[in-house]
């Protein structure tokens, strides 16, 4: 999704710093980019369709400038093009924007009737014109921003330059992320904390419906009514973010390989001194809803399995985009768990805001510290997997499962004295070795990737917890390879989709669940009888070129071991197909629009 970067730097380095920031924002996914900077008392704008490296070719980064703003755009209103790229300038105002102006068509008509003309098809240019319109009334930027916030509907993080004010940038926020970082000679404005973490230690967070006026020596915060706000300067605690691929060709591979450490560090942290017992007691609640999007939703499906089958706690899992418009049945006995790597996903955040109107308790399982969801929930558990740069999530997803497993274990230890907790703890303690074993089988994963490429149709099948994991495998393959694949609960196949199965079909199946082992085997025999080839991920029997055998473990660990081969198979398929692995087309890391 769109990324924002703004800088005030007294040493004339603003252009260079903004470009560096845009490079760090690239992981969010984008299709065009641009920069506006102040030089010789004039605001210059350079923008282009394509990557930051294309933008760099159009700019002399040695030009001295103290103030610059930049943007990576992920197209929503209007195609990816240079004209639609940000910054936009209308009259005296130049700005970049992340979010969606919902009433932009209505505003456009009003502005056209006032004489404004538009070059782009974006909602952002309308926002820019609206601020300019109010600014021209009496050349008061404060009044213009307040009137804008009053009139506009939707979500926005805006960073703005005004032609007449040469020493300040202004930022405005509602429902889109924005952070202000400070060090001795520079103020940074960015869409997320990781982008500025290498540059500064202290930061301020704006709440929704707040804005700020920023000069090199002073930051003043205001409400949407213009009242000054007192804000606490905060200090980054987590220095765990890095932007290096190390020896790997892609961030995705690095992040897959890192799982042996991310998982064992997270789990050992909670096991040491029995800290897992301090986690929220899920069994206290009569209703548990898990709400998330994409892979985080798939982690939620694994959580449902663990809560229900192991801890006997009924649980519902919902896609955030559905939950936000659905009637809820929440009261003081309800717990709503929000799972999100970024902590900024618009739909998940909107659900959290909605349930805040009820008496339900909210718990966040979040990777990025101080992200919007992590701040707004009643309680947060961090997944501690460090920076995840590849758009397709891997290590953050398995850490989400690990946290759900620890919550289950915590409940069992408190309420089910007959449960063999020590056996699970021992398994958890050995997770590093188990993960290493499944990571090591690279040649096999490469040869399966070639079989995928040679097949006309790909199906993922599994039952119960295997189905949850196959859904994640299916999503990974789609994201990274752009191949079409289908995922079904194995028992559902004969109710329709089996008509698609023939000799050109490759079926990737999970079969690790003792209770359902034979049932899944029968379903697989049905597809073999129709000519399909099978790649099996199981914890029984002998491995061969089409069978991946993972260590036989409880359902606290097994789903993690089952998904890792699928991550690597998708990765190698994408590599063989020469896809843009870390930044797959059309995708964004942090989905901050609905």
Q: Which residues pair with 214 in a beta bridge?
A: 169, 219
3-class DSSP state of 578: coil
Active site residue 589: yes
Q: Which residues pair with 335 in a beta bridge?
A: 288, 361
| Smallest gap from residue 569 Cβ to ligand F6R (A) | 15
In whole angstroms, how large is the CA radius of gyration of the chain? 25
CA quadruple 172, 178, 180, 186: dihedral sign: negative
Q: What is the DSSP letter of 87?
A: P
Closest CA to 513 of 546, 552, 566: 552
Distance (Å, rounded) from C-alpha 379 to C-alpha 363? Answer: 5
Q: How far is CA 302 from CA 165, 297, 336, 420, 549, in A?
A: 54, 9, 16, 21, 20
Q: Is 94 in the site for ligand F6R (CB under 6 A)?
A: no
Q: Is 566 in the site for ligand F6R (CB under 6 A)?
A: no
Q: Is 1 in the site for ligand F6R (CB under 6 A)?
A: no
- Candidates 5-13, 338-346, 374-382, 483-491; binding stretch for ligand F6R (CB under 6 A): 338-346
Q: What percent helix, strand, coil does the chain show, rounded to 5? A: 40, 25, 35
Nearer to ligand F6R, 341 or 558 (CB): 341
How buried is 405 (Cβ within 10 angstroms: 0-12 exposed, 13-18 middle, 19+ buried)?
buried
Q: Is 558 in the site for ligand F6R (CB under 6 A)?
A: no
Active site residue 2: yes
| Smallest gap from residue 590 Cβ to ligand F6R (A) | 6
| Smallest gap from residue 479 Cβ to ligand F6R (A) | 5
Tokens representing 149? 């916030």
Distance (Å, rounded) from C-alpha 162 to C-alpha 305? Answer: 54
| Smallest gap from residue 194 Cβ to ligand F6R (A) | 13
| Smallest gap from residue 462 Cβ to ligand F6R (A) | 18
Closest CA to 162 of 35, 67, 46: 67
Tokens representing 495? 């109710």
Q: Is 341 in the site for ligand F6R (CB under 6 A)?
A: yes
- Candidates 33-41, 54-62, 289-297, 575-583; binding stretch for ligand F6R (CB under 6 A): 289-297
Q: Is 374 in the site for ligand F6R (CB under 6 A)?
A: no
Tokens representing 353? 């805001």
Q: Is 342 in the site for ligand F6R (CB under 6 A)?
A: yes
3-class DSSP state of 376: helix
Q: Is 592 in the site for ligand F6R (CB under 6 A)?
A: no
| Smallest gap from residue 392 Cβ to ligand F6R (A) | 4
- Do 174 and 149 meet the contact criterion of CB atoms below 8 Å apart? yes
Among 25, 178, 206, 293, binds ligand F6R (CB under 6 A): 293
Q: What is the DSSP letter of 306?
A: I
Among 89, 186, 328, 393, binds ligand F6R (CB under 6 A): 393
Q: Which of 16, 108, 395, 589 is catalytic?
A: 589
| Smallest gap from residue 293 Cβ to ligand F6R (A) | 4
Q: Is 192 in the site for ligand F6R (CB under 6 A)?
A: no
Nearer to ligand F6R, 392 or 449 (CB): 392
Residues 466-505, mask of contacts with ligand F6R (x by CB under 6 A): ---------x---x--------------------------
Q: Is 348 in the site for ligand F6R (CB under 6 A)?
A: yes
- Contacts of 513 by beta carbon, 8 Å cutoff, 6+ apart: 463, 464, 465, 466, 520, 555
Nearer to ligand F6R, 120 or 342 (CB): 342
- Do 25 and 72 meet the contact criterion of CB atoms below 8 Å apart? yes
Among 296, 346, 352, 412, binds ligand F6R (CB under 6 A): 296
| Smallest gap from residue 366 Cβ to ligand F6R (A) | 8
Residues 422-461, mask of contacts with ligand F6R (x by CB under 6 A): ----------------------------------------
Among 65, 195, 295, 512, binds ligand F6R (CB under 6 A): 295
Q: Is 334 in the site for ligand F6R (CB under 6 A)?
A: no
**Beta-strand pair 179-182/93-101:** unpaired
Question: Of how many residues is the chain composed?
Answer: 594
Residues assigned a catalytic role: 2, 589
Residues that bind ligand F6R (CB under 6 A): 293-296, 340-342, 345, 348, 392-393, 475, 479, 590-591
């Amino acid at each position: 999704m769109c990324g924002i970067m703004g800088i005030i730097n007294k040493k004339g380095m603003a252009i260079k710093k903004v470009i560096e920031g845009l490079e760090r924002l690239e992981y969010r996914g984008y299709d065009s980019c641009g920069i506006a900077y102040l030089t010789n008392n004039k605001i210059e704008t350079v923008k282009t369709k394509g990557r930051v490296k294309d933008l760099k070719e159009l700019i002399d980064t040695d030009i001295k400038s103290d103030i610059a703003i930049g943007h990576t755009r992920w197209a929503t209103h209007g195609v990816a093009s240079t004209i639609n790229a940000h910054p936009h300038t209308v009259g005296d105002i130049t700005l970049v924007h992340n979010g969606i102006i919902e009433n932009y068509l209505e505003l456009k008509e009003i502005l056209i009737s006032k004489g404004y003309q538009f070059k782009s098809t974006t909602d952002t240019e309308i926002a820019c014109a609206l601020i300019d319109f109010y600014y021209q009334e009496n050349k008061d930027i404060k009044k213009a921003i307040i009137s804008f916030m009053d009139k506009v509907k939707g979500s926005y993080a805006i960073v703005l330059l005004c032609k007449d004010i040469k020493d300040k940038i202004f930022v405005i926020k509602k429902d889109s992320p924005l952070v202000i970082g400070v060090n001795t000679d520079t103020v940074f404005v960015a869409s997320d904390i990781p982008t500025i973490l290498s540059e500064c230690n202290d930061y301020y967070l704006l709440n929704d419906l707040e804005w700020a006026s920023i000069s090199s020596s002073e930051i003043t915060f205001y409400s949407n009514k213009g009242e000054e706000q007192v804000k606490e300067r905060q200090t980054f605690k987590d220095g765990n973010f890095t932007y290096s691929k190390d020896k790997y060709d892609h961030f995705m591979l690095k992040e897959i390989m890192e799982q042996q450490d991310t998982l064992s560090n997270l789990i050992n942290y909670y096991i040491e001194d029995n800290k897992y017992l301090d986690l929220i007691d899920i069994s206290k609640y009569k209703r548990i809803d898990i709400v998330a999007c994409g892979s985080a939703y798939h982690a939620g499906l694994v959580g449902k399995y663990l809560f229900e089958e192991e801890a006997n706690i009924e649980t519902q899992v919902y896609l955030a985009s559905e939950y936000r418009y659905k009637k809820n049945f929440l009261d003081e006995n309800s717990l709503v768990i929000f799972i999100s790597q970024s902590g900024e996903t618009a739909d998940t955040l909107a659900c959290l805001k909605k349930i805040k109107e009820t008496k339900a308790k909210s718990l966040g399982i979040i990777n990025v510290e101080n992200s919007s969801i992590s701040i707004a929930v009643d309680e947060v558990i961090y997944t501690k997997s460090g920076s995840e740069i590849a758009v397709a999530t891997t290590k953050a997803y398995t850490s989400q499962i690990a946290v759900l497993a620890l919550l289950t274990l915590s409940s069992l230890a408190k309420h089910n004295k007959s449960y063999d907790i020590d056996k699970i703890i021992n398994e958890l303690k050995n997770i590093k070795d188990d993960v290493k074993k499944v990571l090591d089988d690279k040649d096999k994963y490469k040869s399966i990737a070639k079989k995928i490429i040679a097949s006309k149709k790909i199906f993922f099948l599994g039952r119960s917890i295997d189905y949850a994991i196959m859904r994640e495998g299916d999503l990974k393959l789609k994201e990274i390879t752009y191949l079409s694949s289908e995922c079904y609960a194995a028992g559902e196949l004969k109710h329709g989709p089996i008509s698609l199965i023939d000799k050109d079909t490759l079926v990737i199946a999970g079969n690790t669940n003792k209770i359902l082992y034979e049932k899944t085997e029968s379903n697989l025999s049905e597809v073999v009888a129709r000519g399909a080839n099978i790649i099996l991920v199981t914890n029984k029997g002998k491995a061969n070129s089409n069978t991946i055998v993972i260590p036989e473990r409880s359902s606290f660990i097994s789903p993690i071991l089952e998904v890792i081969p699928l991550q690597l198979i998708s990765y190698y398929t994408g590599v063989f197909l020469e896809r843009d692995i870390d930044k797959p087309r059309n995708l964004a890391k942090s989905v901050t629009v609905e």
